[in-house]
């Protein structure tokens, strides 16, 4: 195996919802860019899924099933692993329960393969949060599932692009639940995960981090909310005693509007839409979703299944391309840091 793959990084791909754009952007990325020179892709699905889209979209890339993964693994092809014999009914654009179950099986197989050493890192293609929910998968998204697989670790959702790195204190939760997590211990842990990731994963030795305010105008000195005054600012002051890492809190509207993010190595947002509206306004076509704080390196496109354009050849593969390149970069950075 070592001779055939030249010790390249073995990246696993969970297929996500096969009725969405995941298979299409995967095929486009490996057919249009020199990614085979950088890694060996292992996709946890039947080659039937990828060949379906390869044929209807006329994409030129080699796809092969692996019967014995570590023995048959080869460069310059997409290697597929699928032990389950499941009859597939691929219907681009439709939300099907069978596709959701297949996505769950693929994801869980990819984690098992990471733990037994078959793959070095993971990229997750988009799932549908509607049809993947079941008695065996009750998570808001990939991030929460991955954290459950490494129970002694705390993770953080980070969005990354060439313009901005932003971490989130809370992720896929209702806005009415955000305040449950606005306490000293929880925020401190997330700050720690973010700083460690900037150093270990992104090779930024002395990061400068901007913290967005939770309330409008960062609370306006208590007029519009007390969380900044009573919790966030005292916490930042305490953490800055050893080394001044954190600045703020900043009102998020003017922070993004005035492009203040350009002065910082990273930004911390307290809730999902606060940071993602800014991030996707800046980096919509090429951003990456990264899960920090875990042993496994997991990245993904920063978009969903896009059922409305699935199977039409219209999907943009740049976010996935950047997910792959970032995945490789973080793997190398972690090796160097160690």
Determine what percent of the chain is predicted with pLDDT higher than 70: 96
How far apart are the C-alpha atoms of 174 and 171, rounded to whole Å? 9
Tell me whether residue 208 is exposed, middle or buried, using C-beta atoms within 10 angstroms of its C-beta: 0 to 12, 13 to 18, 19 or more: middle
Element (H, E) at 106: helix 97-115
How far apart are the C-alpha atoms of 312 and 310, rounded to whole Å? 6
- Residue 280 domain flag: yes
- Residue 335 domain flag: no
Cβ–Cβ under 8 Å, residues 161 and 287: yes
How far apart are the C-alpha atoms of 294 and 333, rounded to whole Å? 15
The phi-psi region of residue 307 (left if phi > 0; otherwise alpha if psi is between -120 and 50; otherwise beta) is alpha
Residues 171, 85 within the same domain: no
Residues 131, 43 within the same domain: yes
Residues 228, 240 within the same domain: yes
How far apart are the C-alpha atoms of 13 and 75, rounded to whole Å? 15
Token pair listed for 301:
């496109």
Answer positive or negative: Cα dihedral of 284, 309, 76, 103.
positive
β-pair partners for 298: 122, 291
Token pair listed for 70:
């570590």
- Residue 330 domain flag: no
pLDDT, position 93: 96
Residues 184, 250 within the same domain: yes
pLDDT, position 154: 84
Render pLDDT for 37-57 as a digit per residue (tens, 0 to 9): 999 999 999 999 999 999 999
Q: Quick check: 96 pLDDT over 60? A: yes
Total of domains in the chain? 2
Render pLDDT for 47-94 as a digit per residue (tens, 0 to 9): 999 999 999 999 999 999 887 666 778 899 999 998 777 788 999 999
Residues 197, 110 within the same domain: no
Any idea what the CATH number is for the domain that residue 271 is in?
A: 3.40.718.10
Cβ–Cβ under 8 Å, residues 288 and 163: no
Residues 230, 95 within the same domain: no
Render pLDDT for 137-192 as a digit per residue (tens, 0 to 9): 999 889 989 999 987 778 999 999 999 999 999 988 999 999 999 999 999 999 99
Cβ–Cβ under 8 Å, residues 170 and 131: no
> Is the pTM here over 0.85, yes or no?
yes
State which residues form the domain around 261. 154-293
pLDDT, position 335: 84
Using DSSP, state whether 205 is helix, strand or coil: coil
- Residue 116 domain flag: yes
- Residue 337 domain flag: no
How far apart are the C-alpha atoms of 125 and 12, rounded to whole Å? 10
- Residue 41 domain flag: yes
User: Bigger pLDDT: 337 or 27?
Assistant: 27
Render pLDDT for 265-274 as a digit per residue (tens, 0 to 9): 999 999 999 9
Answer positive or negative: Cα dihedral of 187, 188, 190, 195.
positive
β-pair partners for 44: 14
How far apart are the C-alpha atoms of 180 and 199, rounded to whole Å? 29
Strand 209-212 relative to strand 246-250, pairing: parallel
Summarize the confidence of residues 316-320 as an average pLDDT.
Answer: 96
Residues 125, 189 within the same domain: no
- Residue 178 domain flag: yes
Residues 100, 215 within the same domain: no
Residues 120, 1 within the same domain: yes
Is there a cis peptide before residue 249, judged by omega within 30 degrees of 0?
yes
Residues 73, 166 within the same domain: no
Residues 222, 110 within the same domain: no
How far apart are the C-alpha atoms of 334 and 29, rounded to whole Å? 25
Residues 134, 161 within the same domain: no
- Residue 137 domain flag: yes
């Amino acid at each position: 195996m070592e001779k055939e793959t030249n010790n390249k990084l073995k990246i696993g791909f969970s297929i996500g919802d096969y009725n969405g754009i995941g298979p299409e952007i995967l095929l486009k990325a490996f057919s249009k860019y020199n990614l085979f020179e950088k890694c060996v892709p292992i996709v946890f699905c039947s080659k039937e899924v990828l060949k379906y889209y390869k044929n209807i979209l006329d994409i030129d890339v080699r796809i092969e099933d692996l019967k014995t993964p570590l023995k048959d693994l080869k460069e310059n092809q997409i290697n597929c692993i699928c032990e389950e014999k499941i009859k597939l009914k691929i219907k681009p654009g439709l939300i099907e329960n069978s596709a959701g179950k297949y996505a769950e099986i693929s994801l869980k197989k990819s984690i098992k393969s990471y733990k037994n050493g078959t793959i070095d890192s993971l990229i997750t293609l988009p799932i549908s949060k509607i049809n993947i929910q079941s008695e065996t998968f009750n998570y808001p998204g990939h991030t929460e599932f991955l954290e459950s697989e490494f129970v002694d670790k705390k993770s953080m959702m980070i969005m990354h692009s060439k313009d901005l790195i932003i971490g989130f204190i809370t992720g896929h939760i209702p806005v009415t639940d955000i305040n449950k997590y606005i306490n000293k211990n929880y925020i401190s842990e997330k700050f720690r995960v973010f700083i460690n990731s900037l150093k270990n994963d992104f090779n930024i030795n002395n990061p400068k981090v901007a913290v967005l305010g939770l309330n409008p105008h960062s609370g306006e000195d208590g007029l519009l909310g007390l969380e900044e005054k009573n919790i966030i600012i005292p916490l930042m002051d305490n953490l800055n005693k050893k080394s001044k890492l954190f600045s703020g809190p900043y009102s998020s509207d003017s922070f993004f509007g005035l492009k203040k993010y350009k002065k910082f190595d990273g930004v911390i947002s307290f809730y999902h839409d606060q940071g993602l509206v800014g991030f996707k306004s800046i980096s919509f076509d090429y951003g990456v979703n990264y899960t920090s704080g875990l042993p496994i390196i997991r990245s993904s496109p920063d978009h969903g299944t896009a059922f409305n354009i699935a199977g039409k050849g219209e999907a943009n593969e740049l976010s996935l391309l950047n997910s792959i390149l970032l995945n490789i970069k973080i793997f190398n950075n972690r090796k160097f840091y160690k």
